[in-house]
């Protein structure tokens, strides 16, 4: 599948555009090539890095750069995320779609470090919400030119062997359809904003909950509401599960460890 190319622009390429770049790559990197730039370049803001790390997205290796260095490249979408960048945005080819999303500048926040970090987190969440809406729109726009293929779950499960690493096999209304293999026990965690649907395809699963466990077999599903702490555990040697959850949902939720998968593979 040919990926569309998206460029986010803000003034200094230090916070808003960097968070937008990292967010879209995490939410739909299988569909888009993503970059960011600024009318000036000052470096990635440390609090932007911390705010994104809170949701399991590492932007510490992203670089601040000026838009001049990217003008010769083809872009399907150029999205300005601050008013000043929108006013000073250079001309792109007519085939490039221009969008403007206005977010307040978190680098102008005052107060303690925690106060300022909370502003970065708020803007991060606003960007993510806008991206979620936009992804739904672009899915509708491209529907006329996309084939509706049958997804054969047995074939998909046969393509990988690693456990606890979800793979994206489809998307619907801003939701990712994922498949994952489970072995042993996962980690206790919860999701602040996302509900999750677990459908067992093969094996037996115990969903451990603080108010009592639930056991599932093939053809049975459970929906874990947002905020509910849970810990999946395989009761058989291996369990195959289909997941349905909002794009960008981190598999370990509020916990970050060696099982955290920030960049999802599409198969």
Q: Give the catalytic positions in this structure.
A: 10, 82, 89
Alpha-carbon distance 260 to 77, whole Å?
A: 30
> Between vectors from CA 73 to CA 69 and to CA 174, what angle results, nearest 5°?
110
Q: Which residues of 221-252 are buried (b: 16+ CB within 10 A; e: fewer)?
A: ebebeeeeebbbbbeeeebbbbbbbbbbbbbb
**Are 202 and 158 within 8 A, CB to CB?**
no
List the beta bridge partners of residue 171.
176
CB-side exposure of 51: number of CA atoms within 13 Å? 31
Provide CB contacts within 8 A for 73, sequence distance 6+.
Answer: 5
């Amino acid at each position: 599948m040919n990926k569309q190319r998206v460029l986010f622009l803000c003034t200094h390429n230090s916070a808003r555009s960097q968070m937008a770049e990292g967010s879209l790559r995490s939410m739909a990197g299988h569909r888009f090539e993503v970059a960011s730039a600024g009318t000036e370049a000052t470096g990635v803001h440390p609090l932007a890095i911390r705010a994104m790390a809170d949701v399991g997205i590492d932007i510490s290796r992203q670089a601040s750069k000026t838009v001049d260095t990217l003008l010769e490249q083809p872009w399907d979408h150029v999205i300005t995320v601050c008013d000043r960048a929108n006013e000073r945005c250079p001309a792109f080819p007519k085939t490039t779609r221009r969008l403007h999303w206005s977010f307040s500048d978190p680098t102008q926040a005052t107060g303690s470090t925690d106060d300022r970090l909370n502003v970065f987190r708020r803007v991060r969440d606003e960007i993510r919400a806008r991206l979620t809406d936009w992804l739904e729109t672009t899915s509708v726009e491209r529907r006329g030119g996309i084939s509706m293929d049958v997804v054969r779950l047995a074939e998909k499960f046969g393509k990988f062997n690693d456990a606890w690493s979800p793979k994206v096999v489809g998307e619907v209304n801003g939701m990712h359809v994922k498949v994952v293999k489970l072995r042993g026990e996962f980690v206790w965690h919860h999701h602040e904003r996302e509900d999750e649907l677990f459908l067992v395809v093969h094996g037996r699963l115990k969903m451990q909950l603080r108010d009592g466990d639930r056991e599932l077999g093939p053809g049975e599903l459970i929906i874990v509401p947002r905020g509910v702490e849970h810990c999946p555990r395989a009761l058989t040697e291996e369990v195959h599960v289909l997941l349905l959850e909002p794009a960008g949902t981190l598999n370990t939720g509020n916990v970050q460890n060696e099982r955290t998968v920030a960049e999802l593979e599409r198969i």
